[in-house]
Structure 1
């Protein structure tokens, strides 16, 4: 059976949040946004704005749901501060590559880790496509749930914009 992307497509940030924290994704989807109060998010925005400023193809918006950091002739580039969330970053970029492929645009991806001055090339393959499709189906199910997923405490929770929202009882 052929996968219908139109039925399941989501914003890139939602795809990213699925791999970071499903509760965060559910809350964000309901309009509960905490990013404006996060020092870490502001730091990321500053790094993003200051990096590769001379390039003309920055902040490319596709179908009002994907915001590509940089797009050139051959590559989609995502600017990240560090590689601490490497697997999440890879999946987000693979989703972008998948989405573009469905639009008839073939590209490779590059993760640019600014603080570490390191790049990683990412290429879409059949296995990644299947993982993206199953993830999109799962995201659709998750977002249709009436209640948010239970809290799972990850090592990076304290740096999350939603930390106080989720753990208000633990905050002194």
Structure 2
């Protein structure tokens, strides 16, 4: 199985979400929040598709890659899970390096916030990535789904209804 940037991002967001996604339970297609994020990505930089390349390599898909300057452009709706975004771009850099494309960097762009986060390869990232890949493999190969961990980002997750279908707070269902 190829590990994707989504797997790495979910590793840093929620182990349950990662396991569900990797085991074929995908809820993104039902989420208005995911649809809004896709719309932002598609409409924020209209000339980008003409200037940059979509790159598919070893199971990853980079929407906008500036081959001349070796820059990955990743567009995100908000910075709520910024560490997951950084991890995803670092993983892209790792896959590029494994395929002979070195000295690349990344930009995470938050158009609604008018912010940009630079992501660069750092010493020690090679072993960090290998650890993340192994952690993803270990988690997704577990027989049972990891337990629910209630987090502040749950309400905006596409898996919210799935995870909280039977949860209650006091006398109320969440």
Normalised to the residue count of structure 2, the TM-score between the two structures is 0.89
Number of residue pairs the alignment of both structures matches: 164
Q: 1 CA distance for matches of 2:54 and 2:37?
A: 14
Q: 2 CA distance for matches of 1:137 and 1:30?
A: 16
Q: 2 CA distance for matches of 1:24 and 1:104?
A: 32
Q: Structure 1's 80 and 58: CA in aligned 2 closer, same or farther, altered over 3 A?
A: farther
Structure 1: gaps (5+ residues) = 1-7
My pick for the range that moved more, 145-154 or 81-90, is 81-90
Cα deviation, residue 60, structure 1: 2.5
| Partner in structure 1 of residue 39 of structure 2 | 46
Cα deviation, residue 131, structure 1: 1.5
Structure 2: gaps (5+ residues) = 168-172
| Partner in structure 1 of residue 65 of structure 2 | 71
Runs of 4+ off more than 3 Å: none
Q: Does residue 26 in structure 1 map to residue 19 in structure 2?
A: yes
Alignment RMSD (CA, Å): 1.5
The 5 A counterparts of 1:74-153 are 74=69, 75-106=71-102, 107-153=104-150
Q: 2 CA distance for matches of 1:13 and 1:58?
A: 19
Cα deviation, residue 105, structure 1: 0.4
Report if the CA contact (8 A) 2:57-2:95 is conserved.
no
SS of corresponding position for 1:77: strand
